[in-house]
Structure 1
Amino acid sequence: MLAGMKPTLKDGRYFFCTTNNKTVLTALSGRSLALFREDEGVALVLAEDDATLHGFDLSVPMSRIVLEVFSALDGVGLTAGVATALADEGIPCNMIAAYHHDNVFVPEPMAGRAVEVLKDVQRRASSPHH
């Protein structure tokens, strides 16, 4: 899967937010890029406009990199390979595996470097000497 991934930086700034406010959840459930229920509250991944409108913390803007490869839900190694390569470069990431693609969220100032690192991982994984 590492050899076949095509890391693609998407436009926009995203914010990881959490709330238990039912009014806010009703307003954002259809707008959130991702939603996950945790014991402490509902985690949302919101575009900047929605996070701003509802008064969420905007101190950690994230960029979204989509790994344009079909990743099987029972596949092994993609998340570990990506997270390790980024960690080795000092780039924190939050991985969200969806149905069709894996999504990598990195701090916005590090997005360009993260894409370079992931493209390098892809090249190394697809080289015949790997």
Structure 2
Amino acid sequence: MAPIPVQETQAMIAGMSPHLDPEAYVFCTVAEAASGARLHDRALATFNEAEGQTLILPIAVASEAGFATDLPMRRITLAVHSALDGVGLTAAVATALAAACIPCNMVAAYHHDHAFVPASQAEKALTLLRSRARIAAAEMTKGTAP
């Protein structure tokens, strides 16, 4: 049986249990989706926009395909199964990272949300998010959550 998605804001934040992927990724773009078709099986994710198709590729795959790899990103997966209509998890993550001057690109999927941060700041970001989760859990325990 699949876990029930968490919808309440503080519960999502408290339960986010962030995990750092050891792989480095880069965000790449191709003008037409057909151009990126040969990389779909090797891409972590793709997204079609009016300007072209975005591919999130492992850095080695991107390099091999001739894409720029000067901004390697690491993925932090938020292990909480957040509800698709849940409110506040992305904002809490982005706010915590922004306060520490850590850029992030959020990607939401069906089961989990993922924060992509510059590889050089990934460990710091992970520490901050784990701390944020602990604070939210403590607030829920004390009954002081907003």
Which moves more between the two structures, 66-75 or 25-34?
Answer: 25-34
Check the 8 A contact 1:24/1:54 in 2, yes or no: no
How far off its partner does 1:85 sit?
Answer: 0.4
CA-atom RMSD in angstroms? 1.2
The structure 2 residue matched to 1:117, chosen from 95, 117, 128, is: 128
C-alpha distance in 2 between matches for 1:97 and 1:23: 24
Between 13-22 and 119-128, report the one with greater CA deviation.
Answer: 13-22
Deviations 1:66-122 (A, max 9, x none): 001101000010000000000001100000000111000000000000000000100
Letter of the 1:84 partner, please give it: T
Unaligned runs of 5+ in 1: none
**Equivalent residue, structure 1, for 2:28:** 17
- Counterparts of 1:23 and 1:77, CA distance in 2: 35
Q: CA deviation at 1:23?
A: 5.9
TM-score (norm 1): 0.95
Cα distance in 1, alignment partners of residues 13 and 33 from structure 2: 40
Report whether the alignment pairs 1:91 with 2:98. Answer: no
Which residue, 26, 45, 51 being the options, matches 2:56? 45
Matched position secondary structure for 2:117: strand
Preserved CA contact (<8 Å) 1:17 1:46: yes
Say if 2:91 is the partner of 1:80.
Answer: yes
Q: Which residue of 1 aligns with 2:43?
A: 32
Q: Which runs of 5+ in 2 are unaligned?
A: 1-11
Q: Runs (4+) of structure 1 moved beyond 3 Å?
A: 21-24
Bigger radius of gyration among the two: 2
Instruction: Go from structure 1 to structure 2 and tell me whether the alpha carbon gap of 1:3 and 1:28 turns closer, same or farther (over 3 Å shift).
Output: same
- Once the two structures are aligned, what percentage of the paired residues are identical? 49
TM-score under structure 2 length normalisation: 0.85
